[in-house]
Structures are given as C-alpha cells and as structure tokens.
Structure 1
Amino acid sequence: MITVLPLIALAYSFLFLPIEVKANFAGFNIYSFRAAILLLAIPAVNRWVRDQPTFGLADILVLVSCLWTMLAFTYRDGFGNGFVRSAAIFIDTFGAYLIARTSIRSFNDVRVFLILLIPGLAFAGGFFALESVSGRLLVRPTFASLFGAAVNYEGGVAQGALHLLTERRLGLLRAYSTFSYPILGGTILASLLPVYLKSGLRGWPLVAGAMACALSFFSVSSAAIVGIAMGLGLIFFDKILPSMRPFNWYFVLGIAGAYGLVVNFLLESGVVGVIGRFTLNPSTAYIRRLQWDYGLQSIEKHPVFGIGFSEYVRADWMTSAIDAHFLFIGIRDGLITPLALLAAFVVIMATIGKRSRFLARHDRDLLIGINFMLAVLLFASMTVTYFSEANIWFMMALGLAASCAHAHRRVRMPAPPMRPQVRPSANAVPHPPGQAERPQP
C-alpha cells in the first residue's frame, strides 16, 4: 500500500484541486499537480536506483521523447528561453511517468491504487453530475474566489485571466468539475472504466469505481461518451473472442488497421473524418479535419524541431487551437517527440498483450483492462489535446502500464542442491532398529 501513495498523491492533486490552486515562483506557475511532481520526483528517482526495475525500450522511448522537447525548444529559442519554456513540459511529462513507473511493483499494487483512487474519482465525477444537472458551475468558481482566476495562455504566453466558457448539449450543461476543460476530465474518467471492470475487484470497490467513471458522461463531451462506449465494446469483444476460434485480438487489430488504411486512402476526409462523425457537434468535426490538414503541412515544413508555441499557418477564420495530441506535439517539437511517444505506447501494449497470455485469469484480465485504457486514450488523442492535468494522467497511465508490463516477472530461486544418495556396500552390516549410523573413521 505504501508504494502506491506517491501515485495517489499525484492523482489527488488534480482530482480534488483545479488549476486555480497555484503559486507563482520566479515567473513559473506551479499548479498543484506540478508541485506534487516536484515533491515526489526525487523520492521516485531514489526508488528507481534502489529497486533497479527493468529499464525497457519503452522507458528509453519516453525519455527520448521528453528530451527532444527540451532540445527543440533550446534550438529554436536559445538556451535561456528554451530551457525555461521546456522545463515545465519536461517536469509534467517525464515526472508523471517516472512517479507512476516507480509506484507499481505488482498487480496487487494496481488494485490497491484503484481502491484508493475511488474517493477522488467520486468527488470529480459527482461534481460533473451536479454541475451538469443543476446548470451551474460550482467547483472552479469557488476556488477562483479563493485563489484567483486561472491564467489564460496563448502561444505559451500568459494573456490575462481565463474565462470559463459554458455550453449546453443534450439539455445538459457541459460541466468542468475540477478539470481544465470538460473534454479533458471526461476522457480521464472514461479511460479508467475498463480498468475497473476488468480489475478483478469485487463488491463496493468495483461498483463505486465503475459508477464514478461512468459519471464522465456529464462532461457531455463526445470523447468521453465514445470512450465509455469503446471501453464497454472492447470488454464485450474480449468476452466473446474465445468462442470465435481461430479469431483472436491479432486478427481484430489487423482488420482494424486494414480498415483504417483503406478509409484513409479512399475517403477524402480520412480516418479523422470518420472519427469526427461521432462528435456531438458536427461543426467541430469539420474544424478538426482542417486542423489535421494544416497541421500536417506545418510538420512537413518543420519536421525536425517544429515551430514551438508559434502559430501554425491556417485559414484566417480558424483559431490557433489544435484538437489532436500527437499532431499538436508534432507541430510544436517536430516528428521525433510524437513518434517516440507513440512507439512507447505500441511497445507497452504489445508487451502486455503478449505476456498476459501466461498469467492467471484475474491477472490477465487486469492487464487487458489496462491495455483497453491505453486504447481509449490513444483513440481520444485523435480529437483531444492532453494539456494540464490531462497530460499528467496521460503519462501516469503510460507509466503504470509500463510497470505492469514487467510486474508479473518472478525471480526463480535456484533449487537447493540434492544430497547424494550413497548406496550401501554389499558387505555392510545393517544397523539395529533405532540406532543411528556412525560415520566411518
């Protein structure tokens, strides 16, 4: 239980405290989650050195991705400005990954983490429902009255106070709860639903955890609703696949990949256009497709170091927003950062899928649930940019999964040496009953 407390502390830093809770130090805004990372990073490094966990390919890829961000900013903006701008990004990304990577040692640690996480999820999810049904934002305005309004950033530069935008969909208010934006909080909670359902937990932890995650519906965000449906659909397929031999997950993934390639080459809108049809607001789907078109053009022109926080070339009427995580960091840092991070996801998911086949049923299901969580996050990343606490959870989920990819390894203790059996000589005299044998002189 003690080992997962750093991970719980980091999760609670954004499930209970919104970005209005901050401190300014030497020009840096230190949010609650960033303060937690700064406090927990050094102990995490100590645990890594002490425990010496397996340092795999995925860890190298994540580190390369984060270091390339710093290199890109330093190259574009000079050492001083570039280091300052990229330091916060590095702390948030690799710091969150490292804390998660060193907090999980076994599958039971994951289950303990899920149980201890329930109060935070219930708090955030409960206020999602309360704000949405009541039609009033409650959490963030309350914290803003105590700590001041959050800062609005444009192009990496503070542009005054942030104003919370409200919108109604399906007759409900798009709630913020404790999160920076409805879609971010909705995606965080929705991604955890398949983990709880496949965790092997029983009784109230299973029910409470799953219900808290399902409250992400009240973010009234397409990504959250599709994430819930996707998680449930993946669990359903995992249930019926054993009865559909010789079909398996490799076959399903192959079909999905082939479908994606065909759609991308035959349809003008491509995969992004198909995904956009699942959105609740059709106009946002059209804008997201244009963001991909102009964003890929920007990456093509600046493939190595990107353009940083500069605005990419686009239509005059479009805003500078990018609603796709890997596209955004590709525009910002060049191709190395998103490709290395995406490769880390693929390596971890493939490793988990391969090794889950040799585990007991309840542990196998837990690992499959974690893979489903990563799948939901990757799918949502096509239409969501993970910033603020969502970026923290994105990297925490990756670090947790990386730990689980190696957690089931067991050290085989060498067998004790067998005592040689001495055959009695044919001339040996048998011992009287109960008398011990005496060694020969």
Structure 2
Amino acid sequence: MTKSPQSSSTKIRKLSPTAAALSHIQRAHSQANEYEGALILTEARPRWSSLQTAEGPPSNWDGRADPDDASDREPPAKKKNNPWPVRIFLISLVFPWDFHLGPMRLSAYRFVLLALLGSCLVLLIAGKVGKVRFADLAVLLFALWSALSLIVDNGFATAMQPAGIQVVETFGAYLLARCWIRDFDDLQKAVRLLFWIVVILMPFAVVECFGGGNVLRTAMGVIWPTAIFAPEHRLGLTRVMSVFEHPILFGLSTGSILALNYFVGDYNERLMKRYLKSAVILGTASLSLSTGPIFSTILQIILISWNTVLYRIRYRWKIFIAILILLLIPLELLANRSPLSIMTQMVVIDPQTYWYRRLIWDYGSATALNHPLFGIGLGDWERPAWMPNDTIDNFWLVEAIRYGLPAPILLLSAGISISLAMAGKRNFEKRLDDVRTGYIITMVFFFQIGWTVHFWSSTYVLALFLLGSGVWLLDAPPGGSEKTVAKAGPPGWRVPPP
C-alpha cells in the first residue's frame, strides 16, 4: 500500500525532536574538542588576543603576549616576608634592656648579632651572597683594627670585652644586612618596618617632649630593669630620648630612614602619601631638639627635592657636586674659618655650643695627630683643665682619637666604595635607580651628621646595618636604559607614555 505524502510528512515531523537533540549533542561535543585544541595551541604559543584580526596576527606581531590582555598575564608573584633575622634585629633595637652574663653587658640587639654572626660569615665566605667586595674587607678591617687598638692601648684583660663588642656591633650588623637583604623586596620590607617603629615611637615622644616624662622607657622598666637618664631641656621643652640613651640618638635613628622610606618603602606610591610620611619622620626626629639630626634630616629632603625637580637631567648629580665645590672653594680661600666651622655655627640651636664645639675640634684633632696609629683607646683625650666635659660631638673625630687614623679611613672607604660603585652602574630599571638614590642620600646623611654629633649603641649598629643593606644592588642585573629611567619620572609621578 502506497503511503500518502501527507502521512509521510507527518511521520518526519514526529521524529524531528529526537533528531534535533542528537544534532545538539554532536555540536556540543565538536565545540569541546575545538576548545581543547585551542588550549593546547595557547600553551604552545602566546595569543595576540586584542591585536587579532580576521586575517590573523598583524604583520608587526613579535610573538609575545599582548600586555593589555589580562588572560595572558602571569599570576602575581607571591609576596615575600621580610627575613626573620632582619625583623628580630630591627625590633630589638628599641628594647633598652641590658642583660649581664658574668662581666659582659649584653643588650637585646647584641644577643641577635652574636647568634647570627657565625652563620652570616659562612654565607659570605661560601659565596652565597655574591662575591666578597672591597667594602666587606674594609668593614672587617675596621672592626679588627679597632679591637687591636683597644688591646694595644689598654691591655688584653681590660680591652677584651669592649674589643669583642666592637667587632660584633660593627661587622655583625653590617654582615646581617649584607647576607639577609638581597633584593628590592627584602630592603623594602626592612624600611617599612623601620617606618612603623618610628610611628609607634612618635606619640610617646610627643608626650615626653611636652613634659609628660619618658613613658615608654618607664613602662619597659616594669618588665625588665632599664637605665633611667636625667631629662635634658631646651627652648622650654624636654629633649626626647625615648628608648635611646640620648636625644641625639633618638633624632638620628628616626631621621635616618627618610630617604630610604621615600624612595624604597613607598616605591610607586602617590607623592602626597610620600610627603605625609616624610613629614612624620621629620617631625618625630625634630622632637629631639638636636641640631645635628634635624639639619641632616632636612638635608635629605633637599637632596630628594633636587632629584625630583631635575629628574629629566641625566647629569643632575654632577651639576650638584660642581655647585657644591664652587661654593666651598671660596669659603676655604677667603674665610678665616673652615667650611665645617661655618656650617656648624649656622645650624646650632644654642649659639654658645658653637664655641665649645670649636674647642673640641681643635684639641681633639691635636690628640688624634699625636696618636695617629692606635689612638688612645679607652683613655681620656688631651685638653685643658677648664674643659671638664669629655664629650666629643664628632663621630669621625672620636674614631680617630680612640682607634687611630686608620679606623675612620677604613670605614669611610667602605661607604665611599659602595656609593661610587652604585653611581657607576648603568642601565638600571627605575625601582633599582630609586634604591640607588635613596641609599646614597642615606650614606650622605651619616657622613655629614658624623661631623656634628657622635653616635653609639643601637644607633651605631643601625648605621652599619644600613651601610650593608645596599650591597646587593651591585650584583643586580641591568633592567632598562637610563633614558627609560628618566622618562619614567620621579617617584610617585604618573607620567603617561609618549
């Protein structure tokens, strides 16, 4: 029997839902295979994504992934934690506790340095932290020469303890930074921790400055006995010493991080945020009411401003040095005083202290020249009887008097060699160029302030730590041309691409 066209059409329409379902499944399976193939091709070669056209990749495509395509970007690297030895050391600097082991007096940071000195020395000798550099040897020789001078001048029995502490505080602090700060992230974490230490100290410093007493040191004395120092007053206010042994040490320690925090701690942050943090550091350091730290901290701001304003000029620092030399030569030839004396008189808060500082320099330098090789050790320096105060407000002069002329020469050689090697490096990427600028300004800070004040204890080891914190930059590979750095603009600026 022949089927009518109508009945046949009716049967086809009845089967069409099943056929449509099978067709949909087949298409889905085909698309899945195509997607897997696309993933394989994606792993084999980068996509041009947003640059793609109907005809394929553009003629100037170099095979690299499109930087604007978020799907082609590598996942962000996991943030590094600051190395625990650095954290422990920096935090230990603000604990004014002293522990006695027999005849030895050990502070918290000395315990940390003693515990880490051996392992850091092994890392340096084994070449795990880059090659041994001239600065490493200079700092080591400075520490050993200082210890030897103490033994020669005062005998082994008397000098054994201070000589050992001198080696630990000098080479131990430098070597800790040399071994445990090995890249930008390590340094940035350390600088940020130092900034937050300043922030924590600031409110207690304000209370102390306006006559509320040294609240922080008293509170720590409840936990463990601490030395209490008589407060000093100036301009009707109390000079803040906080957890340190003297107001100068407080101002120097808090002010020393300004340049590094601006260039490294707040790298790629907005200018307003950098200015605010710099103001916090300057304000906190100023509570010491000490001329040296205040002036030297302002000097960092001046150098930062010079770099910011003239960032497009490649030879801006050579121009700065040339201007400085042109100013110093007439002063040296025409003035009846040295440039150091003129500078000291200009910045001192109390004018009467200038004349006493000048007498200290005259008699102190004579003592250093009378004992040029090993100094006088722990002895008293030569001065008239009407100068009863044995304080010397000059770090470099103290080192020459106590350990002989080779000591400050070696330490200065270490800082100068690192700074010159950094300045001679080319083709740094922008953030490494910022590290270089911040580090060299910090070294200028310590060099300059060393002529106006003396520093010791935790402030001294912080200075040696910061000296060693930038050596890793000498091993950093180049990451961009100088023109690239110049076009990027000063820190915190958002310069659009040309």
TM-score bracket for the superposition, by shorter chain length = 0.7 to 0.9
CA distance in 1, matches of 2:223, 2:147: 34
Cα pair 1:8 1:117 within 8 Å, conserved: no
> Which of 95, 100, 103 is the matching residue for 1:24?
100
Q: Which amino acid aligns with 1:330?
A: A
Q: C-alpha displacement at 1:125, in angstroms? A: 2.9
Instruction: Tell me, yes or no, if structure 1 residue 75 matches structure 2 residue 152.
Output: yes
What is residue 167 of structure 1 aligned with on the other side? Answer: 233
Cα pair 2:231 2:239 within 8 Å, conserved: no
> Which of 405, 409, 413 is the matching residue for 1:343?
413
CA distance in 2, matches of 1:83, 1:205: 48
Paired residue secondary structure (1:198): helix
> Which of 357, 362, 366 is the matching residue for 1:293?
362
| Aligned positions of 1:37-186 closer than 5 A | 37-48=113-124, 49=126, 51-150=128-227, 163-169=229-235, 171-186=236-251
CA distance in 2, matches of 1:202, 1:129: 27
Paired residue secondary structure (2:441): helix
Q: C-alpha displacement at 1:97, in angstroms? A: 0.6
User: CA separation of 1:370/1:41 partners in 2, compared to 1, >3 Å: closer, same or farther?
Assistant: same
> Which of 295, 304, 307 is the matching residue for 1:238?
307
What is residue 423 of structure 1 aligned with on the other side? Answer: none
Instruction: Tell me, yes or no, if structure 1 residue 220 matches structure 2 residue 289.
Output: yes
User: CA separation of 1:409/1:280 partners in 2, compared to 1, >3 Å: closer, same or farther?
Assistant: same
User: CA separation of 1:72/1:314 partners in 2, compared to 1, >3 Å: closer, same or farther?
Assistant: same
Instruction: Tell me, yes or no, if structure 1 residue 5 matches structure 2 residue 84.
Output: yes
CA distance in 2, matches of 1:407, 1:393: 24
Q: Which amino acid aligns with 1:64?
A: L
What is residue 8 of structure 2 aligned with on the other side? Answer: none
Cα distance per residue 1:120-157 (max 9 Å; x no partner): 2222233222321354221223334553342xxxxxxx
> Which of 188, 194, 197 is the matching residue for 2:262?
197
CA distance in 2, matches of 1:320, 1:268: 27
Runs of 4+ in structure 1 over 6 Å off:
none
User: CA separation of 1:113/1:244 partners in 2, compared to 1, >3 Å: closer, same or farther?
Assistant: closer
> Which of 208, 221, 229 is the matching residue for 2:298?
229
| Aligned positions of 1:290-439 closer than 5 A | 290-318=359-387, 319-355=389-425, 357-408=426-477
CA distance in 2, matches of 1:328, 1:314: 14
Q: C-alpha displacement at 1:176, in angstroms? A: 1.2
User: CA separation of 1:232/1:57 partners in 2, compared to 1, >3 Å: closer, same or farther?
Assistant: same
Q: C-alpha displacement at 1:32, in angstroms? A: 1.2
CA distance in 1, matches of 2:299, 2:261: 14
TM-score, normalised to structure 1, is 0.82
Cα pair 2:252 2:293 within 8 Å, conserved: yes
- Structure number with larger C-alpha Rg: 2
Paired residue secondary structure (2:232): coil
What RMSD over aligned residues (CA atoms) do the two structures have, in Å? 2.4
What is residue 157 of structure 1 aligned with on the other side? Answer: none
Structure 1 unaligned spans of 5+: 151-161, 411-441
Q: Which amino acid aligns with 1:10?
A: F
Q: Whose relative contact order is higher, 1 or 2, with alpha carbons under 8 Å and at least 6 apart?
A: 1
Cα pair 2:129 2:182 within 8 Å, conserved: no
Q: Which amino acid aligns with 1:176?
A: M
CA distance in 1, matches of 2:213, 2:193: 29
Q: Which amino acid aligns with 1:164?
A: A
CA distance in 1, matches of 2:105, 2:304: 40
Cα distance per residue 1:174-226 (max 9 Å; x no partner): 11111111111211221211111122153798578535423212122212221
Paired residue secondary structure (1:358): coil
CA distance in 2, matches of 1:229, 1:210: 10
What is residue 431 of structure 1 aligned with on the other side? Answer: none
TM-score, normalised to structure 2, is 0.73
Moved more, 388-397 or 235-244: 235-244
CA distance in 1, matches of 2:254, 2:343: 20
User: Share of identical aligned residues, percent?
Assistant: 24
Cα distance per residue 1:18-39 (max 9 Å; x no partner): 2xx1111121110111112112
Cα pair 1:324 1:383 within 8 Å, conserved: yes
> Which of 218, 235, 248 is the matching residue for 2:316?
248
CA distance in 2, matches of 1:22, 1:371: 33
CA distance in 2, matches of 1:314, 1:29: 30
User: CA separation of 1:130/1:335 partners in 2, compared to 1, >3 Å: closer, same or farther?
Assistant: same
Cα pair 1:101 1:402 within 8 Å, conserved: yes
User: CA separation of 1:268/1:291 partners in 2, compared to 1, >3 Å: closer, same or farther?
Assistant: farther
Q: Which amino acid aligns with 1:129?
A: V
Q: C-alpha displacement at 1:312, in angstroms? A: 0.8
CA distance in 1, matches of 2:292, 2:381: 25
> Which of 226, 245, 252 is the matching residue for 1:187?
252
CA distance in 2, matches of 1:253, 1:141: 46
Q: Which amino acid aligns with 2:248?
A: I
CA distance in 2, matches of 1:338, 1:261: 24
Cα pair 1:107 1:408 within 8 Å, conserved: no
User: CA separation of 1:236/1:176 partners in 2, compared to 1, >3 Å: closer, same or farther?
Assistant: same
